């Protein structure tokens, strides 16, 4: 069955998109996802100065069912890419040359400075990527630089920065929204006023996944310290579904929604689509089950549509 879909003028071979994060951390893994059959991929978030990004280890925590041991929740304190922007620009070009029929979306994030956002937009755009996803939603790290959710929690900043990007962008711009806010509709509508043609929702939920009763330290612990991180996996899906449905009822016609949050099988993805998402993104699901999860997603959607 033909599962292709056109969103904001971009043709996806299917509506399943690799979400921004570890599964899209370099050209090799992006190529692996396209070889497996994913319709699109959002690369790991890039910025102008990777030297300011320091990723620690360990940076993941898991919440397991007490009955079955199954992973039902996943937390990360990972930051955006720490690889130089010049390396990313070359890899974006390579991927688009090798996989012209697959959609490559660049996730970008910068400090609160117009010149930096517009410089990054121009540099990345010239590589041939198909769209941008503005990271207004990373819940941890670099808030001191007014990045990520430090912008997305404030509609005025969201609108302003989106407009900076759309002033120079020649390709569609999506804004990725934080769930760590009372009303997700307000910053989403602000992004649309700034020129965004799509909204991605949701990013991870700010959390502390647990405490080690032996060391008396919160998890994950790095040299005795930790920080609240982003919570994902199955447990967040009901929250994500609620927010996607709110967006579908409030955004102007023609604004696309890319649903994210706790998707691990086709049934999960279909639920998002029925509530208004035109595409869906998987990140944690791919980390837990691998890129070949796309086979069940495609088969399940095709079966549902027949």
Q: Residues 152, 178: contact at Cβ < 8 Å?
A: yes
Cα–Cα distance between 54 and 266 in angstroms, integer? 35
How does 152-171 read in b/e, with b if 16+ C-beta sit within 10 Å?
Answer: bbbbebbbbbbbbbbeebeb
Q: Residues 149, 178: contact at Cβ < 8 Å?
A: yes
Q: Residues 167, 179: contact at Cβ < 8 Å?
A: no
Q: Residues 255, 275: contact at Cβ < 8 Å?
A: no
Active-site option among 10, 30, 138, 287? 138
Of 207, 202, 285, 204, whose CA–CA distance to 246 is shortest? 202
Does the annotation mark 283 as catalytic? no
Other beta carbons within 10 Å of 124: 22
Characterise 68 by phi-psi region: left (phi > 0), alpha (psi -120 to 50), beta (else).
Answer: alpha
Which residues, 6+ apart, have CB-to-CB distance to 252 below 8 Å?
Answer: 192
Catalytically active residues are 138
């Amino acid at each position: 069955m033909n599962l292709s879909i056109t969103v904001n003028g971009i043709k996806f071979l299917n509506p399943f998109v690799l979400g921004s994060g570890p599964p899209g951390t370099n050209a090799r893994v992006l190529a692996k996802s396209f070889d497996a059959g994913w319709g699109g991929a959002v690369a790991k978030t890039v910025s102008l100065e990777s030297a300011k990004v320091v990723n620690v280890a360990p940076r993941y925590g898991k919440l397991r069912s007490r009955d079955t041991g199954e992973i039902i929740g996943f937390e990360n304190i990972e930051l955006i890419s720490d690889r130089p922007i010049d390396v990313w620009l070359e890899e974006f070009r390579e991927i688009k040359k090798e996989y012209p029929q697959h959609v490559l979306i660049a996730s970008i994030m910068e400090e609160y400075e117009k010149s930096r956002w517009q410089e990054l937009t121009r540099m990345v755009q010239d590589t041939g990527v198909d769209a941008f996803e503005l990271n207004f939603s990373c819940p941890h790290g670099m808030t001191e630089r007014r990045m990520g959710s430090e912008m997305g929690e404030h509609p005025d900043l969201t609108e302003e920065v989106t407009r900076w990007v759309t002033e120079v962008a020649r390709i569609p711009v999506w804004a990725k929204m934080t769930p760590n806010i009372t009303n997700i509709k307000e910053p989403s509508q602000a992004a649309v006023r700034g020129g965004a043609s799509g909204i991605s929702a949701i990013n991870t939920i700010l959390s502390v996944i647990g405490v080690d009763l032996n060391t008396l330290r919160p998890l994950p612990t790095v040299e005795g310290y930790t920080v609240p991180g982003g919570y994902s996996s199955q447990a967040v899906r009901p929250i994500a579904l609620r927010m996607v449905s709110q967006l579908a009822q409030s955004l102007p016609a023609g604004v696309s929604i890319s649903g994210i949050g706790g998707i691990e099988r086709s049934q999960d993805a279909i639920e998002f689509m029925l509530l208004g998402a035109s595409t869906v993104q998987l990140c944690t699901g791919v980390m837990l089950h691998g890129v070949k999860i796309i086979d069940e997603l495609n088969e399940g959607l095709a079966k549902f549509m027949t």
